Amino acid sequence: MKGSKAVLELLEGQGVDVIFGYPGGVTIPIYDDLLDSDIHHVLVRHEQCAAHMADGYSRSTGKTGVCLATSGPGATNLVTGVATAYADSSPMMVLTGQVATSMIGNNAFQEADIFSLMMPITKHNYRVLRPNDLPEAIKRGMGIANNGRKGPVHIDLPVDVLNGQIEPSKLNEEFPVPAPFEDLSGVMEAVKILREAERPVLLVGGGARWADASNEVQRLAEILFAPVITTIMAKAIIPEDHPLSLGMLGMHGRECSRRALLEADVVFAIGSRFSDRTIGYDGEMPKDTKIIRLDIDPMEAGKNPRTRVRLVGDARKGLQLVIKGLAQSKGDSAWSKRVKELFDGCVCDIDIDEDPIKPQKAIWELRKALDPDAFVVTEVGQNQMWAAHFMRLKHPNQFLTSGGMGTMGFGFPASLGVKYAYRDKQVVDVAGDGSFQMVFQELATAMSVDLPVVVCLLNNGWLGMVKQWQKLQWGSRYSGTELRNNPDFVKLAQAFGADGVTVTRSSELSDAYKRAFASDVPFVVDIRTDPEEDMLPMLPGGVASNKGTLRKRCRWNKC
C-alpha cells in the first residue's frame, strides 16, 4: 500500500472524518488519495486558520481535530494555531509535508526544520523516515494527544515516505500509550480540610472542562455550599444562573469572585494553572489560606509551594473520590449567606439604551437572540472579555476562546470548525475589528463549505484592549492602536457571497440579530460601538488585587 493511502486509512481507523488543510507539492500524494477516501477535506485560505478550525472542532466535540499543511511556509504558518491549542490543552493531530529524506538538511526548496519548530509547542513530535513507521506515528500520536493532559501532536511526512510502500498488515499493529501518572493518595486529607473549612471556594479551570467534570463540580459545590469561581477556560463549568456560580476570576474578572477568593479559608483548585491572569501573584491570597490542588498534569499540581494537598489525576475521577469521602452536605452557614450576598450584589445592568452603542448592550441583545444550546466563540481583546462577562451559558463547551496564548484571529476560523461539527446549531463569533481583519479571508471557506456562522463584530476603530491600557496606564498616549481605513465590513462580506448589516443605533440590534440568524449564508453584524467604553473592572498590572485597588469599576456594577 502506498504511504499516503496508509496515512488516510490509519486516520479513518482513529475516527477522523475531516481534515482542515491547504495543499502543496509534497502533500499531493495525500490529496490524490483523498479523492478515494471517506475523509472530507476542508480547503482553508490560510494554514493558521486550518489549525484554528481543527482546534474549534476539537474543543466543541471532544474529538481530535486534524490539520494538514505542506512543507516550508505551509508548515510554519501552522505554528501560531498549534501553539494556541497547546496553551489550552486541546488535542490535535498536526500533519506537515516534508522534503524527501535524502534532501533533509540540504536547504532544499521549501524545506524548514518544522520538527524543531514544533518541539516546544506540542506534546510529542514524529518525523517519519520509513513508510513502515506510519502506523506507530499515527496510532501512538493519537493516543498521546488524548492521554493525560491533552494537546497537539505533530507528524512530519517526507514526500518519499508518502510515495513509498508499506505492507497493509502493518496497519493492524497496535501501539498502546502508557497510562498517565496518577497520585490521588491525598484524597482523605483533602476531605478532612474541606470538611473543616468555614469558607471554602472552588477555583475551576480548563482541566475540569476537558475531563467533562461539570456535574461533579456542581455536586461538590452544593455539598460544601462553596462558590465556584473560574478561569476563562472553565466559563459555565456549572450553569451561570446557579446561585453558587460567581464567574470569572482574574485581571478582568468579576469583583464578586475576587472577594470570595480573598475571604476564603480553603481554596480547592481543580484543573487550574494558577496563571498570572488568574491569580498572578503569591500575595494574592492571605498566607493562611489552605490550598488543595487537583490536576492531571503533575507539573501543574506541584507548582504552588503553598499547596497543602497535591492530587494528580483526572479531575472527574478525583472529584468523585472527594465527594464520596464527604458523603453529606454541610448545610447553611454564615458563609453560604455571604456567598448569596456576593452573588446578588454583583449584577450588571447591561441593557443600556445609549448611542453610540455600548458593547454591553450588543452582548445583551445577542443573549436574547441565541438558542439555549448555541455556541459562542470569541476573538481576543475587549470583545473576548465582554463576552466572558456578560454571556450567560449553561455548559462550558458552549464557550470557546483562546486563553493561554491570547491569539487574535482565533475566533472566526474556530467558529467554522464548530459549525462544521454542529450544522444544526447557532454558532456566533464575537469579534473585534482588529482580530477579524486577520482572518476574514476564511469567509471564502465558510461559503464553499456552507457554514453560515454569524459574526458579532464589535467595531470601535481601535485595537481596543491595547488602547485601554494606554489610556489607563500610559496617560492616553496612543501609539499604533487606531485602525484607520477599516473596510466596509458588510461590502467585504458580500464580496465573498456572504451578507451583513451595519448597526449604528442600539434600537437596531434586535432586528439585526434576527436577520443574521435567519440567514443561510455567513453573516457579519457590523456594530459601531463606543470607542471610549472600557472593559471593566480591570486590575492594575504588577500589583496583587488585595494590595492595590481596582483601576476603575464598571459604572453599571452594583458591587
Q: What is the CATH number of the domain that holds 214?
A: 3.40.50.1220
Lowest mean pLDDT among 44-48, 105-109, 138-142: 105-109
Residue 353 above 80 pLDDT?
yes
Domain boundary among 300, 323, 345: 345
Q: How confident is the model at residue 276 (pLDDT cuts 50, 70, 90)?
A: confident
Q: What is the pLDDT of residues 204-216, one digit of tens each?
A: 999 999 999 999 9
Residue 554 above 60 pLDDT?
no
pLDDT of residue 541: 55
Give the other-Cβ count within 10 Å of 284's Cβ.
18
Top pLDDT among 549 and 296 is at 296
Q: How confident is the model at residue 332 (pLDDT cuts 50, 70, 90)?
A: confident
Q: What is the pLDDT of residues 482-514, one digit of tens each?
A: 999 999 999 999 999 999 999 999 999 999 999
User: Is residue 545 situated within a structural domain?
Assistant: no
Q: What average pLDDT does this structure show over 393-397?
A: 96
Domain boundary among 319, 345, 371: 345
Q: How confident is the model at residue 199 (pLDDT cuts 50, 70, 90)?
A: very high
Residues 221 and 265 in one domain: yes
Residue 142 above 80 pLDDT?
yes
Q: How confident is the model at residue 282 (pLDDT cuts 50, 70, 90)?
A: low
Residues 410 and 326 in one domain: no
pLDDT of residue 346: 82
pLDDT of residue 384: 97
Domain boundary among 345, 368, 387: 345
| E strands in 50-137 | 65-69, 92-98, 124-127
Q: Which positions ≥6 away from 123 have C-beta within 8 Å?
A: 86, 144, 145, 149, 150, 151, 152, 153
Q: Could you give the CA distance from residue 311 to residue 293 in angstroms, rounded to a whole number?
A: 6
What 3-state class would DSSP assign to 399? strand
User: Is residue 336 situated within a structural domain?
Assistant: yes
Residues 210 and 136 in one domain: no
Residues 497 and 390 in one domain: yes
Q: What is the pLDDT of residues 453-486, one digit of tens each?
A: 999 999 999 999 999 999 998 999 999 999 999 9
Among residues of the chain, what percentage have pLDDT more than 70? 96
User: Is residue 534 situated within a structural domain?
Assistant: no
Q: What average pLDDT does this structure show over 524-531?
A: 98
Residue 6 above 80 pLDDT?
yes
Residues 518 and 390 in one domain: yes
pLDDT of residue 550: 45
Q: What average pLDDT does this structure show over 122-147?
A: 97
Residue 396 above 60 pLDDT?
yes
pLDDT of residue 544: 53
Lowest mean pLDDT among 112-116, 262-266, 360-364, 554-558: 554-558
Residue 355 above 60 pLDDT?
yes
Top pLDDT among 280 and 417 is at 417
Q: How confident is the model at residue 110 (pLDDT cuts 50, 70, 90)?
A: very high
Q: How confident is the model at residue 301 (pLDDT cuts 50, 70, 90)?
A: confident
DSSP symbols for 220-271: HHHHHT--EEE-GGGTTSS-TTSTTEEEE-STT--HHHHHHHHH-SEEEEES
pLDDT of residue 555: 53
530-545 burial: b if 16+ Cβ within 10 Å, else e: beebbbbbbbeeeebb
pLDDT of residue 536: 87
Q: What is the CATH number of the domain that holds 518?
A: 3.40.50.970
pLDDT of residue 549: 41
How many domains does one find in the chain?
3
Q: What order of strands is seen across the sheet that includes strand 266-270?
A: 245-248, 228-230, 200-204, 266-270, 290-295, 307-312
Note whether 425 and 395 are within 8 A (CB): no
User: Is residue 181 situated within a structural domain?
Assistant: no
User: Can you give the pTM of this predicted structure?
Assistant: 0.95
User: Is residue 31 situated within a structural domain?
Assistant: yes
C-alpha cell at 201: 471556594
User: Is residue 265 situated within a structural domain?
Assistant: yes
Residues 332 and 369 in one domain: no
Residues 331 and 381 in one domain: no
Residues 288 and 260 in one domain: yes
pLDDT of residue 280: 57
Q: How confident is the model at residue 551 (pLDDT cuts 50, 70, 90)?
A: very low
Task: For Cα atoms 71, 72, 76, give the angle at the middle one, nearest 5 degrees.
Answer: 105
Q: Could you give the CA distance from residue 545 to residue 279 in angstroms, rounded to a whole number?
A: 9
Which structural domain range is residue 317 located in? 187-345
Q: How confident is the model at residue 250 (pLDDT cuts 50, 70, 90)?
A: confident
pLDDT of residue 267: 96
User: Is residue 554 situated within a structural domain?
Assistant: no
Lowest mean pLDDT among 22-36, 119-133, 540-554: 540-554
User: Is residue 541 situated within a structural domain?
Assistant: no
Q: Give me the half-sphere count of Cα atoms (radius 13 Å) on the Cβ side of residue 412.
A: 30
Residue 19 above 90 pLDDT?
yes
Residues 339 and 479 in one domain: no
Q: Could you give the CA distance from residue 534 to residue 531 in angstroms, rounded to a whole number?
A: 8
Element (DSSP H or E) covering residue 466: helix 464-473
Residues 454 and 366 in one domain: yes
Residues 165 and 16 in one domain: yes
pLDDT of residue 286: 83
Q: What average pLDDT does this structure show over 234-257?
A: 93
Residues 146 and 269 in one domain: no
pLDDT of residue 283: 57
Q: How confident is the model at residue 296 (pLDDT cuts 50, 70, 90)?
A: very high
Note whether 168 and 1 are within 8 A (CB): yes
